[in-house]
Amino acid sequence: MAVKRVRNHGKWVWQARVSYRGRRRAAVRDSKDAALDAERELRRALKAEAVQAEQAAARPATLCQLLEFLRPRHGGAREGGRERSSGWTTPAARSRP
């Protein structure tokens, strides 16, 4: 967390940078007081995002999220590189050449 004076496109401005639990944000302001206010806002927003991410990770996954996770990301030669609409195949579809 820092507020420092930097040069941006030939103009001196104040930059507020904040890092919290692996997430980073930055804001550029004209005055030091505005940069300090921006730093507080960025810190508050990052803490709120971290709490929200922790709560989302603690919730059990829904069936839709599990199916999305298991769905293949890249199609094979038969699909022509297109993504399938569903990650599951039927026995008849697997036996086709």
The predicted structure's pLDDT at residue 60: 87
Distance CA 13, CA 42 (A): 17
Residue 79 pLDDT grade (very low, low, confident, very high; cuts 50, 70, 90): low
**d(Cα 77, Cα 97) in Å, to the nearest integer?**
11
Q: Find how far residue 53's CA is from the centre of its chain.
A: 10
As for how many domains the chain has, the answer is 2
Q: What is the pLDDT of residue 64?
A: 86
pLDDT over 60 (residue 45): yes
Give the predicted TM-score (pTM) of the model.
0.60
| Range list of H helices, the chain | 32-58, 63-70, 91-95
The number of beta carbons lying within 10 Å of the beta carbon of residue 26 is: 13
pLDDT at 20 over 90: yes
What residues form DSSP beta bridges with 12?
A: 7
**Main-chain phi, psi angles of 41, to 5 degrees:** -65, -40
**Rounded to whole angstroms, how far apart are CA atoms 84 and 4?**
50
Q: Is residue 43 domain-shared with residue 74, that is, in the same domain? A: no
* pLDDT over 90 percentage in the chain: 56
Phi and psi dihedrals of 96, rounded to 5? -70, 150
Range of the domain at 70: 63-95
In the predicted model, is pLDDT for residue 25 greater than 80? Answer: yes
Per-residue confidence band for 68, with pLDDT thresholds at 50, 70 and 90: confident
Tell me what the pLDDT averaged over the chain comes to.
83
80 and 33, same structural domain?
no
Whether 48 and 76 share a structural domain: no
Say if residue 53 is in the same domain as residue 67: no
